Amino acid sequence: MVERVRGLLRMAEDPAVTDAESQAFTAKAAELMTRHAIAEAEARAERGEEPDAISRMDYTVSGMGGHGKARVRALADIAAAYGCQSAVRGNTSENTERVIILVGTVNALEALRMLLPSISMQMEASAKFMSSSHVTDIRELRNYTRSELETERKRYYRSFVRAYGRAVAERIRDFRARLQEMATADEAGGPVEGVDSARGADLVLQNDVHRVNEEFQKQFPQLRKHRPERTHSPAGYRAGYRRGRQAELGLETPVSSGGSSTLTEGE
């Protein structure tokens, strides 16, 4: 399964494919990883095994264009949809790289390690296109200075990215919930022992959330709260949320299936 996902993501990142093809490959990869996580929980519960181990992953986020804080916010939301907690090191408004530190189950982190680059690629491409179109549109309304247009472009871009991440996270969370519900419903229609298995899987997934929270608190008992970005573009946020809801993630398939060392809470 992991090799299939990696193959799909390699095709998604191939410059020779179209945007639609790239999104379709990422969509299938996301669906496979999500179904795999649910199936693993069910299998562990049925075998009476210990739950998935809790681990940690450091993920570097670009600060290019001064949009690093917005990117962290988006990726932290997506990671949370997979049941992970996050902190970030060096999350300034500069163009420098920063590191988002993710704590979660091994399965969840493996999914994020493979999926975040492709989801980020779609997000950045959409943000770049839409922010450029927005600036072109407002330029025709009146005589903006170059500085004013650049400020508006940045505000739009950052708001777009934050909203895109939120929308994608909502869809992943909803999809995972539907898969759990369907697994329970399918098992309930079968033998009695199947009901116990489905309930066991559900309890395992719920317990994962508590175990992740406990481990996160152990690793980061005293986090400094982040300062939210002050810049906001209502138009950019609306567009980003709309694009995030529409992005090809495979979730519409009918379910039968460097910098400062200061750590702050995931933006």
120-124 — which CB contacts under 8 Å span 24+ positions? 120/71, 120/75, 121/12, 121/13, 121/22, 122/22, 122/23, 122/26, 122/247, 122/248, 123/74, 123/161, 123/164, 123/165, 123/168, 123/244, 123/247, 124/161
Q: What is the pLDDT of residue 180?
A: 66
Q: Give the span between the Cα atoms of 74 and 80, in whole angstroms.
A: 10
pLDDT tens, residue by residue, 35-86: 777 777 777 777 777 778 899 999 999 999 999 999 999 999 999 988 899 9
Q: What is the pLDDT of residue 56?
A: 96
Rounded (10°) angle between helices 106-139 and 146-188: 140
Q: What is the pLDDT of residue 131?
A: 95
- The SS3 assignment for 253 reads coil
Model pTM greater than 0.85? Answer: no
The answer to whether the beta carbons of residues 121 and 72 sit under 8 Å apart is: no
pLDDT at 163 over 90: yes
Q: Give the span between the Cα atoms of 108 and 42, in whole angstroms.
A: 15
Most confident of 39-53, 119-133, 164-178: 119-133
